[in-house]
Structure 1
Amino acid sequence: MSPFLNRIKPWVSVICTSYNHAAYVDEALRSVVEQDYPNVELIVIDNASTDQTADRIDRFVQQHPAVQFLRNPTNVGLNRAFNQGLAIASGRYVIDLAADDVLMPGRISKQVEQFERLSGPYAVVFSNAAYIDEHSRQTGLHYPVTTTGQACVRVPSGNVFRNVLASYFICTPTMMMRRDVLNELGGYDETLAYEDFDFWVRSSRLYHYAYLDEVLTLKRRLPNSLSAQVVLPDNQLLHSTLTVCQKAFDRCATPDEHQALAGRVRQFIRKAFYAEQFSLALQFGQLLHAIERPGLLTSLILGLSRLQPPVNGLYRQYLKWSQPRQALSPTMEPV
């Protein structure tokens, strides 16, 4: 593309990371190459899958030689794998696609059009999503919608820093991000076990987000997904979350931002307690003390953390009983 045409139709880099996604990777990759937008580069990184994922990607690349495929000999983690793709990406905009998720037709065109209409410091355009299971059957929506397809709830846009501290409201795979912002931030933090909360905290302090009110992505939810691991006693997700909350504390500038973070920290005190990561719960408690005096319930949980009761088994049984009865909500906290 000439520079002139590239300004009219800027390139979009889709960075697809895979690990043991043999059952889903074909559908994910096809959803990219079948987009109606002309200027898309697809970069795939396999993180040392132990199933047939890499072989399936190889066959796909034979049919689509423009696809760039990086095959890691060892699993370097999600964030580093994404950064490998970012290092060779050339698009103005970037989509981070897991190899079990699916782009809806027209998604890239619509998000690029939204980005090109925006004025001001916007770094992200995100949208609604439908959840699917291992058989690609729809199980729900991230935001409930009206009969005409619009979200029934108010979705934050613009300056969303306080919002990302307060609750999980962005469905991560729906994001289209500016590559220059990702580069400015140094990509994803490779010391962390997951990427989204940290990226939201660091980017939304400096830039704005825009919501596009359509279902443009199918997000697959599996029993062994990363978000399901947060209840396990040996998971590293909560350690990463403490690091991100400490980063957020350093970036808070107003009382309402501090209060939003305090609410989030109280949630993670409970999560660490139920995961029997009692030392971590107390570290979250120290951060909470720097913001506010803990209430009675939080103080009780912190006190019980010092006694280290065996609560994880009972908690996991409770989750098995309660989750089928809970409706999906845009304020659900996956980590």
Structure 2
Amino acid sequence: MDQINRLVDCIDQLTRSTQSRTLENLQLAKEIESRDRLIKQLDLGSKALRTRLSLQEGKTGRLREQLRVAEQRLKDAEALLQARESEAVTLSDRAQDLSAQLTAKQAELFKLSDWGNAIERAPLRYSIRKQLYKLSRWVYAWLPLPAQQKSQLARRLRSWLKPGKATPGESAATAGFLPLQPPVNLAVPSTLGQPVILMFGVIDWHFRIQRPQNLAKELARAGQTTFYISNNFIDDDAPGFEAKPLGGSNRLFQIRFKVLGAPAIYHAPPSAAAIRQLCEGLAMLLRSASVEAVDCIVQHAYWFPLARRVPNSTLVYDCMDHHAGFGNVAQELLDLEIALMRRADLLVATSDWIEQHGKRENRNVEVIRNACEFSFFSRRPDKVYRPPGDRKIIGYYGVIAEWFDLDLVKRVAQSFPQHLVLLIGSDIVQAKKHFKAYPNVVLEGEVPYGSLPYYLHAMDVCLLPFKVMPLTLATNPVKVYEYLSAGKPVVSVKLPELSQFGKLVWAVEEPTEFISAIRGVLGTLPEASATLEARQSFARGQTWQHRAASLREAIATLPQPKVSVVVLTYNNLEMTKACLDSLLSQSQYPNLEIIVVDNHSSDQTPAFLTAWAEGHPDRIVILNPDNKGFAAGNNLGLAAASGDYLVILNNDTVVTAGWVKGLIRHLRDHKEIGIIGPITNNIGNEAKVGTRYSRMEDMPAEAAQMTRARMGEWFEINTLAFFCVMFPRSTYEQIGGLCEEYGLGFFEDDDYCRRVQRLGMRAACAEDVFVHHHLSASFNALGARKKQALFEKNRAIYESKWGLWVPHTYRDV
């Protein structure tokens, strides 16, 4: 029975457990159903979210596409705007060139008309004069005289034979020039601290557009006022100049100087009289245009004696050719070119050959090759040259001179009788006679620069048929860049500078290869567009704008010798401030070290100097615990100086614009000078000049006028006053510092000059550098009696070393 009861109990427990589990299962089933419904809802929500996200992504994609299209349109608009601006500038330049050419053609027509009328009125007289003219040319060629004398003789004969002579004003008017005489102001915009460009050209602006004009235009467009100095002088015995704005720009002018006899720059260096007249004319130009800092870009050695005198300037020689290779350049000019190469602050070479030649004379050589006016030459004109008959055109443009291989072109004409050989350019070797037997050779003569695309875009293959000679080995040919701008295939003789073009140009050595290359090009016409684009893509990166930027960078980064200026102070804080302010604002020299030595000032000078030098590594301050005197104080500064040139400058001075370059220029040009100083308003010797200013505000203008009138001038002086002197480190290394026996001061400058002269060097005073001097500001504080006693004591020391002291004198007025 008990067993049955236990079994019943077990059954009851199992029943209750089963019921409990059933209830749990039912609850779990309900939870599962609830979760399934939640999952379904989440799935539906996720699908809806994905749908919305997909819609948003679609909208975002469309917005991105719209944005990309808008950005592309903006880029296209900017490119179009730049192209339009470039076209506008080019059109403006072309209009200017065409205007000048039209004026010249009209003048030629008037001349022809006059000649025609004269011949009709007196045919016998014309015939006689023609024969006499031929005879005179024969006599002129026979005369055993130098080229310059023959040129002067010819001018005199022409002046005698002319019925009348136009006045300078009339001559200027017919040429479109505006005569300017100081004090008329040549209004030019501010250069914002950039130097003015003086480009001393090798040709007149309107003669033939070449590298000089293209660089000048781009420098002016970059914001630098540019004066292009023409080689075409005005025959006048009075100094002066005429200015003509170019291309509608207020930053670009052609300048023609007045020079008696209007000499040609190609035959001989300028005479002393011509240099004086040019200097006076240039001084007028600098004054009229309110010019301060200058970059002189010289493109012919004739200009060197003038350019080296320009105040506050950097001298750049833009060497475009191997001038000795022309064969007809006077040896005096070649010698002058070597001197220019050596003296130039920067020598620009247009080719690797010229670079190697230039590096023998100057360590600062930069290769800046020729280039092209891409926007002008790449654009195909609406109308191009069309030859009679359906013939291919084998073309060349450029001067046809002694470097042009006539025989090679004759072989081209023989090899391609069915094609036209078109030669554009001035013929100075009688090529027309050479090709007389070849009817497929056409010589068009020289054409205006603006007409070159008319012919270029008609050519099927372009040639560079030069002889291989020293002149062409040094040449970087401009026309190749222009040929490539139009996408034209180019066949050339093999020259060193052609290697930069790679496979874009066929450069061959033998005449047979030259003919074969032309035949290969003609056989592949028309060429693939990708081939044309490759040529144009290269030329697009070789423009005059690129070259001008390279030139500007080369000048801006030119290494400058370091100049250390030692300023000794003792009280007079306001004067010290004025002196230091002028050093910082007027020196216009990037590599300047200023060392201030204070001789135990009792005013606020030490505190001011400490604050002034803080954070400036090129400012050094030495504070002495006692007054060591003039010589010992300056010697501390000289010992601390690290410059290539050393300057002793009193704190009672105010320097003027470009004073550093002015003094350095004389030391570089005249190695015999061991020490140099400026002219001034207040000193006890020949360095003193008469001045009119009574206010410091008027000093800079008067100083500029005075020094420009004396540019390049200096004279030997027995003793320099040490209110301002400069000497190269070599002088300091040979002589050492100032003699400290003289204590507080007096006679240490006389003593130093004697030591310089004892070593065979000269003391000089620069007439083209002015420094204002208050005079003896520190010594005046001693009082008259102490000053006199100090003077007598130091005079005795000086005479014990050098003999009787000769008092300083003023210059004769």
TM-score category by the smaller chain? 0.5 to 0.7
Matched, 1:52 2:604: yes
Higher RCO, 1 vs 2 (CA within 8 Å, ≥6 residues apart): 1
Question: Scaled by the length of structure 2, what TM-score is found?
Answer: 0.27
CA shift digits 1:256-281 (9 cap, x unpaired)? xxxxx4754xx9xxxxxxxxxxxxxx
Counterpart of 1:288? none
Distance change >3 Å, CA 192–CA 24, structure 1 → 2: same
Instruction: Describe how 1:1-335 pairs up with structure 2 within 5 A.
Output: 9-34=560-585, 35-62=587-614, 64-119=616-671, 121-131=672-682, 142-144=688-690, 149=706, 157-158=715-716, 160=717, 163-164=718-719, 170-193=720-743, 194=745, 195-206=748-759, 207-221=761-775, 225=779, 231-232=785-786, 235-249=789-803, 261=804, 264=807, 330=810
Distance in 2, matches of 1:330 and 1:76, equals 31
Distance in 2, matches of 1:248 and 1:60, equals 41
CA shift digits 1:221-250 (9 cap, x unpaired)? 35763598565487322211211122222x
Distance in 2, matches of 1:234 and 1:124, equals 28
Contact 2:593 2:643 in 1 (8 A): yes
Contact 1:104 1:217 in 2 (8 A): yes
Contact 1:129 1:217 in 2 (8 A): yes
Distance in 1, matches of 2:788 and 2:637, equals 29
Contact 1:173 1:219 in 2 (8 A): yes
Contact 1:230 1:237 in 2 (8 A): no
What runs of 5+ residues in structure 2 fail to find an aligned partner? 1-362, 365-556, 693-701
Distance change >3 Å, CA 222–CA 209, structure 1 → 2: closer
Counterpart of 1:301? none
Q: 1:23 is paired with a residue of what secondary structure?
A: helix
Shift of 1:91: 1.1
Shift of 1:131: 3.6
Shift of 1:83: 0.8
Distance in 1, matches of 2:641 and 2:789, equals 31
Q: 1:24 is paired with a residue of what secondary structure?
A: helix
Shift of 1:27: 1.3
Q: 2:626 is paired with a residue of what secondary structure?
A: coil
Contact 2:569 2:597 in 1 (8 A): yes
Contact 2:662 2:768 in 1 (8 A): no
Distance in 1, matches of 2:690 and 2:594, equals 31
Shift of 1:214: 2.8
Shift of 1:63: 6.0
Q: 1:124 is paired with a residue of what secondary structure?
A: strand
Distance change >3 Å, CA 222–CA 76, structure 1 → 2: closer
Aligned residues: 236
Q: 1:149 is paired with a residue of what secondary structure?
A: helix
Distance in 1, matches of 2:810 and 2:682, equals 12
Shift of 1:171: 4.0
Contact 2:675 2:726 in 1 (8 A): yes
Shift of 1:108: 0.5
Distance change >3 Å, CA 172–CA 224, structure 1 → 2: closer
CA shift digits 1:261-313 (9 cap, x unpaired)? 4754xx9xxxxxxxxxxxxxxxxxxxxxxxxxxxxxxxxxxxxxxxxxxxxxx
Contact 1:142 1:171 in 2 (8 A): no
Q: 2:579 is paired with a residue of what secondary structure?
A: helix
Contact 2:757 2:763 in 1 (8 A): yes
Distance change >3 Å, CA 149–CA 187, structure 1 → 2: same
Question: Scaled by the length of structure 1, what TM-score is found?
Answer: 0.61
Of 224-233 and 235-244, more deviation after overlay is shown by 224-233
Q: Matched residues, percent identical?
A: 24
Shift of 1:182: 2.4
Contact 1:86 1:187 in 2 (8 A): yes
Q: Which has the higher helix share?
A: 2
What runs of 5+ residues in structure 1 fail to find an aligned partner? 133-140, 165-169, 250-260, 268-328
Amino acid at match of 2:634: F
Distance in 2, matches of 1:233 and 1:214, equals 32
Q: 1:242 is paired with a residue of what secondary structure?
A: helix
Counterpart of 2:549? none
Distance in 1, matches of 2:781 and 2:802, equals 21
Contact 2:588 2:658 in 1 (8 A): yes
Contact 2:568 2:634 in 1 (8 A): yes
Distance change >3 Å, CA 262–CA 109, structure 1 → 2: closer
Amino acid at match of 2:790: Q
Q: 2:740 is paired with a residue of what secondary structure?
A: coil
